[in-house]
Amino acid sequence: MPKLSPNLDLLRGESAYEVLARANELEAQGRSIVHLEIGQPDFATPEHIVEAGVRALRDGKTKYNPTLGIPEFRKAITEHIGETHGIEVSPHMVAVTPSGKTGLFLIVSAVAGAGDEVIYPNPGFPTYEDVIKLSGAVPRPVRLSETNQFSFDLDALRGLISGRTKLILINSPSNPTGGVMSEEDLRAIYEVIQDKDIWILSDEIYSRLVYDGLVRAPSIYSIPGVADRTFILDGFSKTYSMTGWRLGFFVFPKEFETRIDKLLVNAVGCTATFTQYAGLAALTGPQNDVIKMRDEFQKRRDFVVDALNAIPGIHCAKPRGAFYVFPNITETGKRSDELSRVLLEDAGVALLSGTAFGAYGEGYIRISYATSMENLKVGLERIKKAISVL
């Protein structure tokens, strides 16, 4: 039998999907499971966005469109970036993609290859490591530690940089920690790489899901001098509750438009046309649904953090972004994967081991609060009970 590329054997996948599959199996056996593993908002896509998508289909917007996106959508994205980052970008610097993940894959393959090294956060979004491996580059994890509010440890970062470092991935607010990097942290990271030929990929997919009065998370892109070497990665899944629409975009330095166009024309041709009209309505229409969702997430975060801190053996920092908390479970005496397995199999709570996000996630579990307050109450009660009898 012919063999598949050995590159595929390097991939780890995403454990959220595996946990979900096991939880579904248990549910099929009649078990009650509270789902705290899923990284998607539990809200419906706002009605005016759905309407715009449906209208586009009815209006016959069912054909191919320009590879980098429909012009009015690219323009709306540049206006959005201008408003949120305080930097003027042109539509020639925007690529619309069928999901943030596709953008991530394309940017890493555009920048890195065999012989290069790519630095990325650990614990971090599992796709980073897999995408780096697929590009042929060597993944270099930088540890995010709780003592440092899950921001980059600058000494660790300096120690990882070599003549082969090609790209550094930043994700704020972070999956899985929910941590938001301060402008000061971001400046410090830039200072470390300023005089080196290193690209930056700033994954800002959760940038508008921030709490405690923040309007959006600070971006490294806004620091003078950074834009020329930085890609912003963003998408509509989280901010507008559009995970199933598969719509994202990225911003790149202007001189690469032709080459990025060629990359996308080969990889995807173009992004679905009707979803772009929906995205246009999302960006240019009323934002009150985003604000409502954010306020609800903040209430849930406060509830979850307080409930976790009331459980002996668990300590949970209060993160300022995304919809995840990353409690420290070391005092329970269990390893992260053991505890998450016990909580799923015995207590009926699906959540993720910190190690699903890399080896430095040992000692933590990830809980998504993108589910109803009722579910959170039941889930936290079950966790408390299960931990009390360990």
Q: Of 203 and 296, which has the nearer Cβ to ligand PLP?
A: 203
Residue 67, interface with ligand PLP (CB under 6 A)?
no
Q: Of 44 and 310, which has the nearer Cβ to ligand PLP?
A: 44
Q: Are 249 and 103 in contact (CB under 8 A)?
A: yes
Size of the site for ligand PLP (CB under 6 A): 13
Q: Of 33 and 247, which has the nearer Cβ to ligand PLP?
A: 247
Residue 117, interface with ligand PLP (CB under 6 A)?
no
Q: Of 171 and 332, which has the nearer Cβ to ligand PLP?
A: 171
What's the Cα-to-Cα distance from 246 to each of 162, 178, 234, 349, rounded to whole Å?
36, 22, 12, 28
- Dig out the tokens for 33 from the structure: 């499971």
Residue 39, interface with ligand PLP (CB under 6 A)?
yes
Residue 205, interface with ligand PLP (CB under 6 A)?
yes
Out of 203, 211, 339, 340, name the contact with ligand PLP by CB under 6 A: 203
Binders of ligand PLP among residues 129 to 148 (CB under 6 A) are none
Q: Of 46 and 248, which has the nearer Cβ to ligand PLP?
A: 248
CB of 44 to ligand PLP, least distance (A): 16
CA distance 90 to 72: 12
Residue 319, interface with ligand PLP (CB under 6 A)?
no
What is the per-residue DSSP string for 53-98? HHHHHHTT--S---TT--HHHHHHHHHHHHHHHS----GGGEEEES
Q: Of 46 and 235, which has the nearer Cβ to ligand PLP?
A: 235
CA distance 171 to 177: 10
CB of 189 to ligand PLP, least distance (A): 17
Binders of ligand PLP among residues 83 to 102 (CB under 6 A) are 99-101
Burial state string for 199-225 with b = 16 or more CB within 10 A and e = fewer than 16: bbbbbbbbbbbbbeebebbbbbbebee
Out of 121, 123, 179, 248, name the contact with ligand PLP by CB under 6 A: 248
User: Residues 6 or more apart from 275 whose CB is under 8 A from it?
Assistant: 53, 98, 245, 246, 247
Q: Of 235 and 363, which has the nearer Cβ to ligand PLP?
A: 235
Q: Of 39 and 123, which has the nearer Cβ to ligand PLP?
A: 39
CB of 291 to ligand PLP, least distance (A): 21
Q: Of 243 and 340, which has the nearer Cβ to ligand PLP?
A: 243
Binders of ligand PLP among residues 271 to 290 (CB under 6 A) are none
CA distance 290 to 238: 10
CA distance 337 to 346: 14
Burial (CB < 10 A; 0-12, 13-18, 19+), residue 231, is buried
CA distance 39 to 27: 19
Q: Are 257 and 103 in contact (CB under 8 A)?
A: no
CB of 293 to ligand PLP, least distance (A): 16
CB of 40 to ligand PLP, least distance (A): 8
Q: Letter for the amino acid at 149?
A: Q
CB of 38 to ligand PLP, least distance (A): 10
Q: Given phi > 0 = left and psi -120 to 50 = alpha, else beta, which region is 152?
A: beta
Beta bridge partners of 349: 34
Binders of ligand PLP among residues 166 to 195 (CB under 6 A) are 171, 175
Residue 207, interface with ligand PLP (CB under 6 A)?
no
Residue 235, interface with ligand PLP (CB under 6 A)?
yes
Residue 385 C-beta-side C-alpha neighbours within 13 Å: 11
CA distance 300 to 142: 30
CB of 280 to ligand PLP, least distance (A): 17
Tell me the residue number closest to ligand PLP, measured at CB: 100
Chain residues in the site for ligand PLP (CB under 6 A):
39, 99-101, 125, 171, 175, 203, 205, 235, 237, 243, 248
